[in-house]
Structure 1
Amino acid sequence: MNRGVRQGVALGCRGEGNDLPAFRQSTRARQEVCPQMLAVPEPLSVDDSEAVTSRAFERRALTASVRQLSVVTNARGLWAVARQWLIIALSVAFVVQVDRWWAWVLAAVVISSRQHALLSLVHEASHHHLLTNRKLNDLVSDLLCAFPMNITTEGYRKEHVEHHRYVNTEKDPYWRTAQRDRAWIFPRTRRSAALVLLGDMVGFFSLSHLRIVVPWSYTGRSMGKGGPPISRAEHVRYALWLAGFITFLTLTGGWLHYLLLWSIPSLTLMMMAFRIRALVEHPFTPATPDETHETRDVEGATWLERFFIAPFNASYHLSHHLFPSVPYYHLPALHQRLKQTDLFRPGENHFQTYLGGDKSAWSFLTSASNQDIPHPLPVKD
């Protein structure tokens, strides 16, 4: 197998029974009844057999293709990180040079989009897709993607693995969060949906968004609020990063720029784009025996949608859930292969765009009448 290929590609077996409903089986259960798996997944990783689909779907026929598409390329990961920081640096330089109110606003909008991109790169790193060396993967992700966004790669990874394994069940941390906050429950009316996004834009939901990232953050993990215990290596690199960060802003006098161009956009504009993407990826409804009812692909996202809402091919979310070993740059090719099956159902788990036209995900998200707006479901703490 080529270097960088994720070794958990399964050949299409399904197990029986554990503490989840019958249609949500753990990796261990599948390993026990599926000996032809290529390898046992490592802790805090997900295997390509995690997704459950009852549709006619021959995974074995895709095994060779998935192996090829699962190759991680270091240069692409490093360039992806460098590109975001180049755009951020140019945006700040633009503000310093022009120093007009509209320049600050424009730069904040652009930087918020790159913050969203950095979060997507943390997601890639959580699947070990950034770099082939796992220690360097986490180091680069922490220092250049996660720490600047006030989270940690390992903290994010823990919840994200649980999300993959238990999509839309009470063991899915994303689903539990949504059920505690009615603003995540869609479809809605157009007016109601617009009010939620406006609330994001002006910071009305900032506190609820902060609660989401507490288990991912260094502070939250230190206080026992979630995530795995912090390792010695994480302690060291966070201390070095924080010292460097404070020193840099103090020496450059950049504290005001950090507040206006980084902190505020990360809690407002970025979270609005984050919500749209998350709502399209999964409806926060109870799990069914077929994960393809709960996960979606957006095939024809416009360049603006890719820039602000779905960086790094995040629009191919169903494809990602079915084969999480595939890095973002190969998801379009994987999607094309999956289109040859009968997995995709237009208007349900397959949309053309996010926001524009009758075939957009937004049309679906705003399809409720005043009487049909769903309510959160009870969850057990």
Structure 2
Amino acid sequence: MISASELLTPAQLSIVRTRSDWRGLWCVVHAWGVIFGSMALFVWLPNPVTFLVAVALIGARQLGLAILMHDGAHGVLCHNQKLNMFLSQWLCAYPMMAETGAYRRYHLKHHAHTQQADDPDLVLSAPFPITKSSFRRKMIRDLTGQTGYQQRKAQILNALGRPEWPLERRLRNYWSKLGRATICQLVIFAILAASGHWYLYFALWLLPFLTWQQAITRIRNIAEHAMVPDGNDDFRNARTTKAGLVMRALIAPYWVNYHVEHHLLMWVPCYNLPKTRAFLIANGFGPRIETKESYAEVLRMATSRPEDEDKPGTLVHNARRQRVEGTMGEGFTPTDETA
């Protein structure tokens, strides 16, 4: 493990470790602003194009909420830790049917054992490369809601407990696991109903959540660790993927693409990751950072297995399969599925 002092100067470290209550709050407000603004766009100009644009923008900001929850789990979204936890839980995690504390316990194991045998996320990257046909099937399941449905079904059944339990016990168990998340769903529905557009909860909240958000989460997971060059090198056991304005809007919100920088200095807030990369490059570490020019480049590499090796129906085990006890793994990952 490389120490921070080996990477950045004291002055640089002081800059990138600075946490801001206002910047953390702005990121959360921005995410919800894009979500409700996209809904308003469709209400104003209802047509297939604005609907699809809204689905893509909202799904990306839902992923953004999960990313901001991730920063909250690291304690770096805001300087004030009470504000950090409030924003992370009530405005990021619970709306995404996740829970910050449970996610933190899981996620820190990933940081401690990145790409090692006991990394709980290793199984996400282990199957790659896959064939283009396999990837296509995964995308179809994601974009048609099959992945999201199975994920939510497993989560709700887990929260309800065993069928033989008394009703009171099952309800208590549900409340402890998904009660607050359910409240958040009801609040979102109530806000949209009060606006006179209750149907938007299903058309432009649940639908993006179960479709586009699932698909780009998969792409993000592939980009971060699939086929990295060296699991024992801190600069090469994760990957940073360059993303322009469109990609940041639709696939990689809130600087999630700076993944090597995050692993090197996991206490840096997401809004300081671009500056962290600039400092690392200025200090001569640029050539060592595993970087790809685009998500398309990563996907070409990740789907490079020959088609004659395609085996439909083979089970691909996801480490987050049953991370449904209070969270959904990272809050936004596919469940077990066939290849």
Partner residue in 1 for 2:307: 370
Deviation for aligned residue 1:198 = 2.9
What is the DSSP-based 3-state SS (H/G/I as helix, E as strand, rest coil) of the residue aligned with 1:205? helix
Distance 2:113 2:291 in 1: 21
Matched, 1:147 2:94: yes
Query: Residue type of the partner of 1:62?
Result: L
Matched, 1:264 2:207: yes
Matched, 1:80 2:27: yes
Deviation for aligned residue 1:378 = 11
Distance 2:4 2:60 in 1: 37
Distance 1:79 1:207 in 2: 31
Partner residue in 1 for 2:6: 60
Query: Residue type of the partner of 1:259?
Result: F
Query: Residue type of the partner of 1:351?
Result: K
Q: Choose which of 248, 262, 266 in structure 1 pairs with 2:191.
A: 248
Query: Residue type of the partner of 2:291?
Result: H
Deviation for aligned residue 1:248 = 3.2
Distance change (3 Å), C-alpha of 1:197 and 1:243: closer
Partner residue in 1 for 2:222: 279
What is the DSSP-based 3-state SS (H/G/I as helix, E as strand, rest coil) of the residue aligned with 2:295? coil
Distance 1:189 1:343 in 2: 31
Distance change (3 Å), C-alpha of 1:371 and 1:288: farther
Distance 2:112 2:32 in 1: 33
Partner residue in 2 for 1:312: 254
Report the number of matched residues: 304
CA contact (8 A) 1:209 1:267 kept: no
Partner residue in 1 for 2:108: 161
Deviation for aligned residue 1:276 = 0.7
Task: Calculate percent identity across the aligned residue pairs.
Answer: 27
Matched, 1:138 2:85: yes
Distance 1:61 1:88 in 2: 37
Query: Residue type of the partner of 1:172?
Result: D
Query: Structure 2: 5+ residue runs without aligned partners?
Result: 163-172, 323-339
Partner residue in 1 for 2:331: none
Query: Residue type of the partner of 2:213?
Result: M
Query: Structure 1: 5+ residue runs without aligned partners?
Result: 1-51, 225-229
Distance 1:155 1:289 in 2: 27
Distance 1:223 1:322 in 2: 39
Q: Choose which of 295, 306, 309 in structure 2 pairs with 1:354.
A: 295
Partner residue in 1 for 2:165: none
Residues 74-83 or 99-108, more deviating: 99-108
CA contact (8 A) 2:59 2:212 kept: yes
Distance 1:373 1:291 in 2: 32
Deviation for aligned residue 1:289 = 3.0
Q: Choose which of 146, 156, 168 in structure 2 pairs with 1:204.
A: 146
Deviation for aligned residue 1:367 = 2.5
TM alignment of 1:1-381, pairs within 5 A: 52=1, 59-60=5-6, 62=8, 64=10, 65-176=12-123, 178=124, 185-207=127-149, 209-210=151-152, 214=155, 241=184, 244-245=187-188, 247-283=190-226, 288-298=231-241, 300-339=242-281, 340-342=283-285, 344-345=287-288, 349-355=290-296, 360-370=297-307
Deviation for aligned residue 1:259 = 0.9
Distance change (3 Å), C-alpha of 1:240 and 1:258: closer
Distance 1:321 1:336 in 2: 15
Distance change (3 Å), C-alpha of 1:341 and 1:147: same
Query: Residue type of the partner of 2:107?
Result: H
Q: What's the Cα RMSD here?
A: 3.7
Deviation for aligned residue 1:274 = 0.8
Deviation for aligned residue 1:278 = 0.8
Query: Residue type of the partner of 2:98?
Result: I
Residues 152-161 or 367-376, more deviating: 367-376
Deviation for aligned residue 1:242 = 5.7
Query: Residue type of the partner of 2:307?
Result: N
Q: More relative contact order in 1 or in 2 (CA 8 Å, sep 6+)?
A: 2
- Flag the structure with higher helix content: 2
Deviation for aligned residue 1:245 = 4.0
CA contact (8 A) 2:19 2:79 kept: yes
Distance change (3 Å), C-alpha of 1:263 and 1:257: same
Distance 1:76 1:233 in 2: 31
Deviation for aligned residue 1:263 = 0.8
Deviation for aligned residue 1:270 = 1.1
Query: Residue type of the partner of 1:279?
Result: I
Query: Residue type of the partner of 1:85?
Result: W
CA contact (8 A) 2:129 2:227 kept: no
CA contact (8 A) 1:168 1:285 kept: no
CA contact (8 A) 1:188 1:368 kept: yes
Scaled by the length of structure 1, the TM-score of the pair is: 0.68
Distance change (3 Å), C-alpha of 1:344 and 1:195: farther
Deviation for aligned residue 1:330 = 1.7
Distance 1:73 1:114 in 2: 21
CA contact (8 A) 1:88 1:111 kept: yes
Distance 1:109 1:209 in 2: 20
